[in-house]
Amino acid sequence: QGELRVQDAYTLTAESVEFLNGFLRTQIGRRVRVEFLVGTNTFTDKAGTLLGVGANYILLREANTDDIMACDFFNIKFVTFFY
The string of pLDDT tens digits covering residues 10-59 is 677 767 788 899 999 999 999 999 999 999 999 999 999 999 999 999 99
**C-alpha distances in Å from residue 12, one per residue of 21, 25, 34, 37, 57:** 12, 15, 25, 27, 20
Whether the pTM exceeds 0.85: the reply is no
Alpha-helical regions (H) of the chain: 20-25
Residue 24: phi, psi to the nearest 5?
-60, -35
Q: Chain centroid to CA 38: how far? A: 17
